[in-house]
Every structure is written in C-alpha cells, then in structure tokens.
Amino acid sequence: NYQLPLWIVVILMFITGVDTFTTSDHGVLGGVIVTLFLYGPASAGFTYIATFLFKSPSKCNLVLIVFNFIMGLAGPMAVFILRLIDASNRDDCFSGIEKCELGTLTTIASLIEWILRFFPAFNLGKALFFTINIQTFIFIEKDPDLTVWSPSVLLIEVIFLVFQSFLYLAIAVYIDILSTNPSAVLAWRKFVRIITCRCLCFWKKSTTDDGMMSHSTAPLDEDVIAEADRVESGDAEGDSIVLQKLKKVFANGKVAVDEMSLGIPPGQCFGLLGINGAGKTTSMGMLTAEFPPTSGDAFLAGFSVTNEPEQTRRMIGYAPQFDAHFANMTGREHVELYAAIKGVPKDAVKEATVLKLNEVGLNDYDSDRVSGGYSGGMKRKLSVAMATIGQPRIVFLDEPSTGMDPVARRDLWQVILNMVDGNGKAEDKTSVILTTHSMEECEAICSRIGIMAAGNLRCLGSAQHLKSRFGKGFQVEMKIKGVGSEDDDYQSVQSALTNNSYIRSSRKEDIPEEEFDDQPDIEAADGGNTNTTLLSLDKVRAMAESLTGDDYISSKITPDDPSGYVIYKSATSDVGVPLDEFAAFCVEEMRMKAVLDLINAKYDGSILRERQDNKVRLEIPSEGVKISSIFATIEENKSALKLSDYGVSQTSLEQVFNMHAAEAEKWKQDTVDG
C-alpha cells in the first residue's frame, strides 16, 4: 500500500519538473528515492507503537499527523538555520580558503539532530530538506565533489531509517504480544505501582500480593458457596470453564468482579444475568484474556487465561457486546477470515462460511454487502456467525440477540442449542456463557443460570430451581371488567349518588336564587341533569364515604394515589368532576376492594404487588397452598367479582432477578453509608 503512492510521488516530480529532487547531480535522485522508500516501514512501526498511548483512534490520528508535520518540517528547518547562522558568523566560512570549524550553534544543532533522529518524520524531513540545499553544503564544506550521501547531508538519516524499520516493528510486535498477555500486563502494572509508590498512598499492608484494596464482600447464597467449594475441591477439573476466585479491581478502587468461583461442564449453556454495571462484561473480558484479573485465575479446557492466553484463544469464540466489524468488509469476508484464523481447512472455508451464514439468517445478498450498511440485528447475526464458525469448544455471547426481531431471535436460540448439543455429536459439544437482559431467552436456552450483582453471583441454578427457591409465592393476576353505562352496578351506584343528600340539596331549582351564589361546591348544568352534575373535592369525598360507609374510596382521591389521581385532579379544578365519571370510579374501586377482600380472607399474608387501572397482581404465599385451590377459589367467585380474565403462576425469573438486584443495591448502599 505504501509503494504505490511512493512511486506516484516520484513520477509526479518528473512530470512537474522539480529539478531539485530529480537531478542526478551529487546523487540527489537516488537519495530521495531511498529516503522515501525507507520512511514507510520505519513510520509504520513508530505509528503502531504510538497507538498504545491512545484510546480514541480519531484522537491518535490527529495527534500523529500534527506531530509528524512538526517533526518533519520545523525540526529540520531549525537545525539548518542554526548551522547557517553559525557559518555566517565566522569569516573563515566565506574566505574560500578552508573548511569551517564547528561553533556553538552548530554543536547545539548536532545535539538536536541526535535527539530528533529517533523520530522517522524528522529523518525524512531533514534528508529531503538538506538534499535540496546540497549546494549550500558544497559551499560550506569547500568540496565540489560532495554528494548527498555525506554524513552532513543524509547518510546518517538513512542509516537511522534502516535501523528504525527493524527496531520499531520489533518493538511494536513485542508490545502487542505483551498487551494481550494478562500475566505480562499484571506484572507491568505491579512494577508501575512499585515505581510510583502508589502502594504507599492507596494500598494497605493487609492487601494481597496483587495490591488489592480491602473490600467488604456481600453475603453469598448457599448454592454459590457450594459451587465455590466444588471448584476449590477440584471436583470441577473436568469442566470446560473454571473460574477460581476471579477478581477484578480497577485503578479507581472499584471492585467489578469479587472472587467469583464457577464451573461450567461441556455441553452446557450458562446464562449470566445482571443489571448494567454488575460485572458481566468485565468477567467476559477476563475470560477472553482481554485484560488480566487482579487476583485469581480462570481455566478454559485446562489452560490458564492468565499464563496461557495463546492456547485459550485457539479454542474460544467471542461475540462482544459491541460489534467488532470492519465497515468496508462484507459479511462473507468476515466469516471467511475468522474461519481461517480458527483453523478451518482451506478447501472447506467457503462451504463452512455459506452454511454458517445461512444458519444465522444472512442470505447471499446480505452476506455480500459491506457490514457498515448492516442494521443492528444483522450486525449481531454476523457477530454470532464469526464467534461460532469452526465449532469452538467454548463460546462467549455478550447480549447476542440485541436488536433482533422475535423470529430472528428464536432462530438464534436454535443455533445456540444446536451448537451446545454439538449437532448430535458428543465430541463437538460446546460450552456457552450467555449474557442477556431477556429472561425469556435465558429460560429458553440456558440449563443453568447465575444472577450477578455487586460483582458476584447472588444465586445459581436452573430457572425452575431459582423460581422455586427464591419465589415468595404464587403470582395471581386478575383483570376486572370495564364499567359501562348499561352495567347494573353502575346504574345502582349512580342512582345512589343521585339520591344522595348532597346532590338533592344542591340542584339549582331547589336553591333559592339569592342563595345560589353561595353554593360554589357543586354546579348543575342542563337544567339539573345528573349526568352533567359537577362535584368538588369535598363533596366527592363525603359522597364516597356515604356510599361505602368507610373511607376506602375517599382515601384514594389524593394526588399520591394513581387510581384516584384523575378524580382528584378533576375535583380540584375550576369545573369539578362529572357525576357519571365519579360513579364509574366508585364501581371500579368497589369491585377492586371485593377482589382484595376475598384473597386476603382466603390466604393469609397475601400482598398487593402491582395495580394498573382495572388490573391487579397479588402475591400469595406458597406455604401450605396448592395452586389448584387458588384456581378453584377464583373460578367460584369469578362472576361475583366481575372478572374478565385471570391467571395464576409461579414467581417469574424476572421477579427473582429484580429481587436480587434490589437486595444487592441495598447492601451496597448500606456499606457506603455505614
């Protein structure tokens, strides 16, 4: 890629007649071509090393462009000007008799040269700048046969470029290897901590050899403790994935993963659930040797991710949370590339690629499009194809179904299940760690699930085990029939409200004209039609208490109660709440009260968990209660309670997840406060 623009530049110099670069006198043309040729590999290695100093590619690109411009232009000019000034200040330089002796400015220029020669851009700029000024050096050196290959012109710069071409590329490769080796990174960080005396400022003597901050660990569940004991005892040696007290503490002291121990056998899909910030992606990063753990270790098929990252990478597939694609490559090219990397035989790459693309739902047309034009769902499909090509023994999928439609999501589930099962071959079974926010997805494809919060597993087991163990009872959802104008209950309540003393005493025709202005609470329209009677807040509450004989309904007409807020807002307005609207509200609340009263009377300890308009969800303790008895109770009273539909179920996985997330957050807050 570099040779093409190099020769284009040389040809353009001849076409445009740039004699200062194209003349063969004093070896100018040869010097220019050699310098340009050597700058390419020297600059490539230097630039690659510099990229490790930046996290943003755009920022790195901008800084390097500016830096190389300054080094290539300002540096050589400064050196040349210092030499020229020093030469012009001495008479012997212009006597035409002998060479100039070195002066102070020339010495300074030489010092600057030796420092800046470690930057390829300076060597290029100085070599070209001094080449076009070869006549000046001939005059100063008093040597008409002087060529550009003189040490005072470009010879030293060419030697440096040759040296840098090998040195910087070797350093770049070495840094790249070290940066992807967790044990090397860990050793380097430990060395930096010692050098900077950071351990004296932030780290206590009681911490481990890895310099971890002391940290209060959240209490662990008995299933999690049992799993940790299994791992520590060696019973998990046959598992494909083994985590041994894996811990990650970031530089700011945040404990992202807190001594997590886990074993995953071959042919198991393990679901890792957790809110954002729970430590899921950090765990993935350590398992894929993207960065080292602070302490502990993980083993993939027996190989340590800390000490043997090269071996572990050969047997894993990884679909990261954020798609790692090349925008200008097609989907087919991506999968073919990864197939070759994973060791798929060359003659089988194309066939394996076609099968995998079809398996994840990318047709021929989509496969031959550049990935930069893919939708979010298509990018996730491509990531899964790249991760699973070659039937790896271990696969990590970080939220793989994000952005997919329901049909594509279920197709993906089947792909994962087939891969876990090894397509019926025991030797091809794959262990999968799946992170997701979809409880449905976890229940559909994961044989074991772990809920992660505050950096550690809060619970562990199958979906049914988690629901049975942590579920606080049966979930009963009921929906009350809507209230209509032909509804018997509505007509009865409206009649009762119409005959209420507050209505009768407030009709316009029953109030003396001189007293009408003193009745601001209730206003009648259309000749006292009760359907358009408007009521104020005080009257509404009084009528509700008169209707039910208690404050059940009236207590809900507040700005803080979702069910009564609309009535409260209308009643406190300048207009008031219409009688028919208030009557419908009363009917709905009376029906809701009947439902709650029945459940509370039949099942002690029942809890109202959620209510939305005419829908309600209650939790009934499971101890001593059969699900059949709940169905029987509701079915017997369905007509009397005016229920349109209902359902009874166990505590859902989502509710178990929310419970553990809330408990972990509460524990975390208590730890901070206390």
User: Which of 309-313, 401-405, 614-618 tops mean pLDDT?
Assistant: 614-618
At residue 239, the 3 state secondary structure works out as: coil
Query: Are the C-beta atoms of residues 274 and 257 closer than 8 Å to each other?
Result: no
**Is a pLDDT exceeding 80 seen at residue 115?**
yes
The domain that contains 348 carries what CATH number?
3.40.50.300
Segment (H or E) for 302: none
pLDDT score, position 187: 65
State the distance between the two ends of the chain, measured CA to CA, in whole angstroms.
Answer: 61
> Would you list the DSSP string of 169-222?
HHHHHHHHHHHT-HHHHHHHHHHHHHHTTHHHHH--TTS-TT-PPP-PPPPPPH
Task: Please report how the helices 28-51 and 120-132 are oriented relative to each other, as an axis angle in degrees rounded to 10.
Answer: 160
Domain count, the chain: 3
Q: In what order do the strands lie in the sheet with 269-273?
A: 316-319, 394-398, 431-435, 269-273, 448-453, 456-461
Q: Name the residue among 481, 475, 480 with its Cα closest to residue 610.
A: 475
> Which of 77-81, 501-505, 513-517, 589-593 bottoms out in mean pLDDT, i.e. has the lowest?
513-517
Q: How many CB atoms lie within 10 A of CB 210?
A: 17
| pLDDT given for residue 326 in this prediction | 86
In this structure, the answer to whether residues 67 and 100 fall within a common structural domain is yes
Quote the CA–CA distance of 423 and 429 in Å, as a whole number: 8
Question: What letter would DSSP give residue 73?
Answer: I
Q: Lowest-confidence range among 101-110, 526-535, 538-547, 560-569?
A: 526-535
The tens digit of pLDDT for each residue in 480-494 reads: 988 887 888 888 888
CA distances (Å), origin 462, targets 125, 293, 486: 67, 28, 50
Residues 485 and 556 in one domain: yes
> What does the alpha-carbon distance between residue 385 and residue 392 come to, in Å, rounded to a whole number?
12
- The CB-side HSE value for 126 (13 A sphere, CA atoms) comes to 32
Which of 470, 488, 505 terminates a domain? The answer is: 470
In this prediction, what percent of the chain has a pLDDT beyond 70? 83
Q: Which of 614, 296, 646, 336 shows the shortest CA–CA distance to 456?
A: 296
Looking at the structure, tell me whether residues 366 and 405 fall in a common domain.
yes
Residue 84 lies in a domain: yes
Q: Note whether 40 and 94 are within 8 A (CB).
A: no
Query: Sheet containing 607-612: which strands, arranged edge to edge?
Result: 607-612, 615-620, 474-480, 643-650
Q: Domain check: are 359 and 438 in the same one?
A: yes
Amino acid at 282: T
Residue 661 lies in a domain: no
Look at residues 447, 450, 448 and name the one whose alpha carbon lies nearest to residue 459: 450
Query: Diameter of the chain by CA atoms?
Result: 132
Residue 201 in any domain: the answer is no
User: What is the domain range of residue 585?
Assistant: 479-650
As a whole number, mean pLDDT of residues 74-87 equals 81
Extract the tokens encoding 53: 């100093």
- The answer on 526 and 423 residing in a single domain is no
Q: What is the identity of the amino acid at 527?
A: G
Query: C-alpha 14: how far from its chain's center?
Result: 53
Q: Does residue 371 lie within any of the structural domains?
A: yes
Reported as a single tens digit per residue, the pLDDT across 258-290 is 889 999 999 999 999 988 888 888 998 899 888
226, 139: one domain: no
Which secondary structure element, helix H or strand E, spans residue 410, and what is its range?
Answer: helix 406-421
Question: How does pLDDT run across 643-661, given as a tens digit for each residue?
Answer: 999 999 888 888 888 888 7
Final residue in a domain of this structure, among 114, 146, 179: 179
Whether residue 662 lies inside any domain: the answer is no
What count of Cα atoms within 13 Å lies in the side-chain half-sphere of residue 289? 25
Helix axes 579-602, 488-498, angle to 10 degrees: 120
User: C-alpha angle 263/292/288, rounded to 5°?
Assistant: 55
pLDDT at 95: 45
Strands 534-535 and 431-435: unpaired
| 274 & 408 share domain | yes
Pairwise pLDDT comparison (150 vs 541), residue with the higher score: 541
* Of residues 576 and 212, more confidently modeled: 576
Question: What's 571's DSSP letter?
Answer: H
Q: Clarify whether residues 36 and 158 are in a common domain.
A: yes
Say if residue 414 is in the same domain as residue 485: no
State yes or no: pLDDT of 167 exceeds 90.
Answer: yes
Q: Under a CB-based contact definition with an 8 Å cutoff, are residues 423 and 410 in contact?
A: no
pLDDT category at 194 given cuts 50, 70, 90 is: low
The reply to whether 270 falls in a domain is yes
| Residue 601 located in a structural domain | yes
3-state DSSP call for residue 158?
helix
Phi, psi at residue 462, to the nearest 5°? -70, 165
Of 434, 425, 426, 370, which is closest to residue 402 (Cα–Cα)? Answer: 434
Strand partners, 435: 272, 398
pLDDT above 90 covers a percentage of the chain that reads 28
Evaluate whether residue 659 is within a structural domain.
no
pLDDT of residue 425: 78
420, 437, 470 — which closes off a domain?
470
Instruction: For residues 378 and 418, state if they share a domain.
Output: yes
The partner residues of 297 in beta bridges, in order of sequence, read 244
In the predicted model, what is the mean pLDDT of residues 154-159? 86
Question: What is the three-class DSSP state of 520?
Answer: coil
Query: What pLDDT is attached to residue 537?
Result: 87
Q: Nearest 5°: phi and psi at 473?
A: 145, -165
Query: Which two structure tokens, joined as six digits, stand for 466?
Result: 């988690």
Provide the mean pLDDT of the chain: 82
Quote the pLDDT of residue 331: 94
Mean pLDDT of 614-640: 90
Q: Which helix (H) or strand (E) holds 639?
A: none
Co-location of 166 and 30 in the same domain = yes
In whole angstroms, how large is the CA radius of gyration of the chain? Answer: 39
* Token pair listed for 192: 């930096």
From CA 430, how far away is CA 439, in angstroms rounded? 22
247 and 98 within one domain: no
Kindly report, residue by residue over 204-234, the tens digit of the pLDDT.
444 444 444 444 556 678 999 999 999 999 8
Contact indicator for 49, 168 with CB cutoff of 8 Å: yes
